[in-house]
Structure 1
Amino acid sequence: MRENKFKEAYLTRSMRRVNCIEVEILCQEVNRLRGARVKGIYQEGSKLSIYLKSAEIVKNLVIFPGEIFYLSNYEPKKEVSNFCLQLRKYLLSSILIGCEQINFERIVRLRFFKANEFNLFLEFIPRGNVVLCDSNFLILAKLYTQTFKDREIREGKIYKLPPSRGGFPQTFQEFVRRVRTERGEIVRALALQFPLGKFAEKLLELCGIDKHLSSTQLPEELLEKLFHKLNELITKAKKLEIAPGVFENSELEFSAFREEGFRAFETLSEAIEYCMLREERRMQEKIIQAERERIKRILEDLTKRREELLHNSKKLREVANKIMWNLEYFKQILIGLDEARRRYSLQEINRKISELDFVERVEGDGIIIQINHFSFKLRFGEDPYLIAERLFTSAKRFEDKLKKVEQKIKEFEEKLKHVDEIEIPSPTPIKFSRKEWFEKFRWFRSSEGFLVIAGKDASQNELIFKKYLEPNDLVLHAEIKGSPLVVIKNGKIAGESTIAEAANFTACFSRAWKINVVPRVYWVYREQVKKLGSFPLGSFSIEGTKHFIEGIELKLAISFEEINGRYRVVYGPENSIKKFGRYVVVIPGKRRKEELAREILKLLKVELSLDELITALPGEAEIGDKVL
């Protein structure tokens, strides 16, 4: 049974769209992750996942455009689409700075920062979309290209919000006007004027108002009660003071309000995920049962076919054997009846043959023989032996078909056994393991065991200088624009091999890799590095003698190690990586980082983070060597 049947079940099931109150609650839950970095972006069918990680928490932000979003405690499937690659270009390693609901609509704005601010708009309306914009709302990437009467979703266009229903009314008078605009039941008016969905019924229930009352005739005091209750609930939603739950007797019914018959959850995201996983399991069980029944139907048909073939082959052999055992008898019957038909009419002969064994009737050209309820014709002048031989041949053909059918039965019995043994896969919980302080930087341990760290950008260079640079450290830098600040911790006692390895590391992660030119790299003591107030972020001055290193190569080795139950990517000069056994060496080239990372992942044959591998690569590269 194909594995992707499970995936299809998960991505095609029906889901109800979130209402405006739930959107507000979910936005506030996401805001708890402000400051988290985007560590991965994946897409499985219509399901988009943004992997968020902070120092204290890791969550997977799951988005079904046009339907629902929530924070998941489970790992995303590591599948990547072209849209993911576009999002990664701008958002990978960015910081989440906020999540907000737009104008009480089912529109969410996620704000990220990485050198510049980016806005990711999530639309949970019919034909909903996911749109990435810059700080000026210029569209950089979109899930779907769309053209409407009043807006166009396309790269290079300015993003416009969908037409608003007016948002939440700021005054009671506006609330009354909009409710009165809709004719019919009050529940319908609330659902149409405000994106409340099923929550409109709950709101009326909380106010003790009959949902069937006319919106145009509802007394003003009841409308005022509704207005204040809705205001109260929105305030509670913003403060996350609403207790969500799941109705246990429903397949996919969660609610922002816990009540009788509901299972309680701490967050609305947890309630939604519980429903999702329960529905996913139900759909998978349904697929397994359908497959089981399909195989059983096939087995039933094959069993009937086997019985038919067995019956036919057995009967033909019995008849053929009867002929062979009574060969002389049939020859004499043919001769005798052939002579009789020359003297008597067929009617006369047929009246007199009742005493003859096996003879059913006589015809003009032969005799109809019946053996074991099987009838066939022996023609006058024909050898009965040839008839028996033909019957044996026919029986053999049936037996050959029988063998094939029996083989098919075995195959489908094995398939049925396999289906019965299928265990529905459970999602993988997110494992949170606190990383070492230096893992936020580029780093490696030299062949002598010294820790070497390097800034990934100007802000990290600044951070290393201010927080992690100590008196016993050595500092390395390349004489080329775009060089990282590289530090050998306790480098004053390091040997020449460590300094040489750190120099190679410095060169590889400088601009020299991109232009494939070996730069000059030097080391200095901690006290030689100065920061003047006029210097830009991540820039420093060097006082005194610079110690230049010879024999630098633009080569980087990539491997892995197991730490705290997880595999992490390690990379550095080849001499420092040899101790890990299997590794791949890369050199400057023209292959894209993502493409090359996927090949390295296959070569190393362990489960590693694709994002970590991409981060390990200095830029476009080629595989220079491999030790596997």
Structure 2
Amino acid sequence: DEEIVRVLATNGLGSLYAEEIMLNTEISKKTACSALSGEEINIIFNALKSVFEPLEKRQFKPMIVNNEKEVEKLKQENPDKKYKAKEDVISINLSQYEGFEMESFESFNEACDEFYSSKVKSEITGIQEAAWNKKVSKFSKRLEKQEETLHNFEKTIEDSQRKGELLFTNYVQVDNILNVIKGAREKDYGWKDIGKTLKDAKKSGMADAQIFESMDPLGNITLRIDDVSIALDSKKSIPDNAEVYYEKAKKAKRKIKGALIAIENTKRQLADMEAKKEKAMSNIMVPQKRVKKNLKWYEKLRWFVSSDGILVVCGRDAGTNEAVVKKYLEQNDIYLHADIHGAPSVVAKVQSDSLNDNLLKELGEFSASFSSAWSKNFTSQDVYWVEPDQVSKTPVSGEFVPKGAFIIRGHRNYIRGAKLEISIGIVEYDGEKRIMAGPTDAMKHHTNKFVTIKPGFTKKEKIAKEILSRINEDNLLSLDDVVRVLPSGKCDFI
């Protein structure tokens, strides 16, 4: 048989309120359900009603509770034991949180906002701090290594100069050993035999031999003078051996200047990085849920604003193609269409007598780029434009005009070889910042923060992520916002 607290918890109450109910009775929460008497069942039922009575009466007491201070005190009293602080957000007072620190709020929503946002911020802070610490660590480790190198140079200078000086202050003793070696070599003694002879002389108490330590097969000896081991080439004189050490000290001195400059540069870079970290950590914000904004009528279509400030729209599909012509094509506008099957109806809010070469170029690029020429990987496409009264939905006898299609009557004005290329950026238009996809010349006129794409081989979802990372500095856009404005088909950056 299951324990009563488990039955309460698994039947909709959850562990928090199951525990609370049992705390309001004198019955053990581990009592098996089958062992409960009728009276005990009534006691539990009354405790349940008592716990939730404030909710029925709408007597809410939203608060955040925690026992951090109590846990800190326990840790100080028993440092070897592990204690974990508890924190919760509740809408009514619970006896199991008696003695906890409490922070009250006007509403449960406010309490939840504070509780969960602080947790999210703590997590974000941890992640950001780890990332910044990695950057700071790069410079601190470099500085540590450079300072260690500087210390080694200084030690080399000190050691080398001391060894050179010791050779001269003990000149007679060292010279006697070198003369012994030289004399033995003149009598054709080998290095091994000479070394053995010097060791034997040291053991026998010969005064000059007391500084001798060892000899290698090439005739290099090691002497120990004033607890300093000095390596010498026995074939060289004392001044020549001393010069080797003095030259070593000089080289180290020359390197110290560069080491000091490198250390100062690294200290400056480290300070800059720590300042950036401090600024970034102080500016950490809790991400807010993105509120879906109401789109303007033109944002439900494809659109751009020309360099001259002309609004241009086109359909996204058959349904919006119909709307573009029937709802938005007016007498003072012009109608455009790429000369290829599978192209949208384009409406430019400009009179034909106001057209200029630059505007026609922009209109052509926009119309061509959002046609099927993009998915076919074309680099250019012809586009034509006509007056509104040349656009009709009325077919000749025996013809059928499908949804989104129109009949063009009369002369067509062509824009030859319109380039397939679209730029995407955030522009200020109609009182707000909006994402716009249009010709590069138009984009340059409205913003300097944009990217340009062409027909290519990369999935547009991948391209959209990269675009988002490049232009979304103010966190205005979602990935869907970017995908929505891209041409149909794969793309590549220019």
The interval holding the TM-score normalised by the smaller chain is 0.5 to 0.7
2:212–2:224 contact (8 Å) kept in structure 1: no
Partner residue, 2:118: 274
Structure 2 counterparts to residues 563-574 of structure 1, below 5 A:
563=428, 566=433, 568-572=435-439
Q: Percent identity?
A: 23
Alignment of 1:143-158 (within 5 A): none
Q: 1:588–1:621: 8 Å Cα contact kept in structure 2?
A: yes
Q: Which has the larger radius of gyration?
A: 2
Helix, strand or coil at the partner of 1:439: helix
Q: 1:619 aligns with which of 482, 488, 491?
A: 488
Q: Match for residue 81 of structure 2?
A: none
How far the C-alpha of 1:620 sits from its partner, in A, is 3.2
How large is the RMSD of aligned CA atoms in angstroms? 6.2
CA contact (8 A) 1:203 1:229 kept: no
Distance 1:537 1:231 in 2: 63
Give the Å deviation of 1:613: 5.5
Q: Secondary structure at the match of 1:417?
A: helix
More helix by share: 2
Distance 1:554 1:450 in 2: 19
Rounded Cα–Cα distance in structure 1 between residues aligned with 2:286 and 2:457? 36
SS at match of 2:487: coil
Are the counterparts in 1 of residues 164 and 243 from structure 2 also a CA contact under 8 Å?
Answer: yes
1:571 Cα deviation from its structure 2 partner: 0.4
Matched, 1:548 2:417: no
Quote the Cα distance in structure 2 between the aligned partners of 1:204 and 1:266: 25
- Kept in 2, the 8 Å contact 1:555–1:585? The answer is no
TM-fit CA distance, 1:420:
3.4
1:558 and 2:405 matched: no
Give the residue type in structure 1 aligned to 2:210.
Answer: R
Q: How has the CA–CA distance of structure 1 residues 439 and 333 changed in structure 2, closer, same or farther, with 3 Å as cutoff?
A: closer
The letter of the residue matching 2:315 is G
Which of residues 294, 302, 317 is equivalent to 1:457? 317
Closer, same or farther: CA 292–578 of 1 in aligned 2, 3 Å: closer
Q: How far, CA to CA, are the matches of 2:21 and 2:141 in structure 1?
A: 52
Partner of 1:525 in structure 2?
389
Which of residues 210, 218, 225 is equivalent to 1:361?
210
Gap regions ≥5 residues in structure 1: 1-180, 354-358
Alpha carbons 2:22, 2:47 under 8 Å: kept: yes
Q: Give the aligned partner of residue 374 of structure 1.
A: 228
- TM-score normalised by structure 1 residue count: 0.47
Q: What is the distance in 1 between the residues matched to 2:339 and 2:203?
A: 123
Which residue of 1 is the match for residue 158 of structure 2?
314
Higher alpha-carbon deviation: 372-381 or 314-323: 372-381
Per residue, is there more strand in 1 or in 2? Answer: 1
1:444 matches 2:304: yes
CA-to-aligned-CA distance 1:235-288 (integer Å, 9 cap, x gap): 99xx9x995757595989453537662464537466423311123324544676
- What's the secondary structure of 1:550's corresponding residue? strand
Q: Which amino acid aligns with 2:370?
A: F
- Residue type at the aligned position of 1:388: A
**What does residue 509 of structure 1 align with?**
370
Q: Say if 2:214 is the partner of 1:214.
A: no
| 1:420 match | 274
Q: Which residue of 1 aligns with 2:89?
A: 255
AA paired with 2:31?
S
362-371 vs 457-466, greater mean Cα deviation: 362-371
Question: Which amino acid is the alignment partner of residue 91 of structure 2?
Answer: F
In 2, the alpha carbon distance for the partners of 1:256 and 1:537 equals 60
Residue range with higher mean Cα deviation, 291-300 or 410-419 = 291-300
The one of 231, 237, 242 equivalent to 1:388 is 242
Q: 1:159-199: per-residue Cα shift (whole Å, max 9, x none)?
A: xxxxxxxxxxxxxxxxxxxxxx5x3461x4445x3587xx5
For residue 569 of structure 1, give the secondary structure of its aligned residue in structure 2: strand
- For 2:56 and 2:418, locate their aligned partners in 1 and report how far apart those are by CA, in whole Å: 58
Describe the shift of the 1:209–1:463 C-alpha distance in structure 2 as closer, same or farther (beyond 3 A): farther
| 1:214 maps to amino acid | T
Q: Deviations over 1:189-218 (max 9, x none)?
A: 445x3587xx52245426753683425245
In structure 2, stretches of 5+ residues that fail to align are: 69-83, 94-100, 184-196, 216-220
CA deviation after TM superposition for structure 1 residue 331, in Å: 3.8
AA in 1 matched with 2:41: E
Q: Tell me what 1:324 maps to.
A: 168
Which residue does 2:73 correspond to in 1? Answer: none
Count of residue pairs brought into register by the alignment: 422
Q: Equivalents in 1 of 2:442, 2:65: separation in Å?
A: 54
d(CA) in 2 for partners of 1:508, 1:428: 39
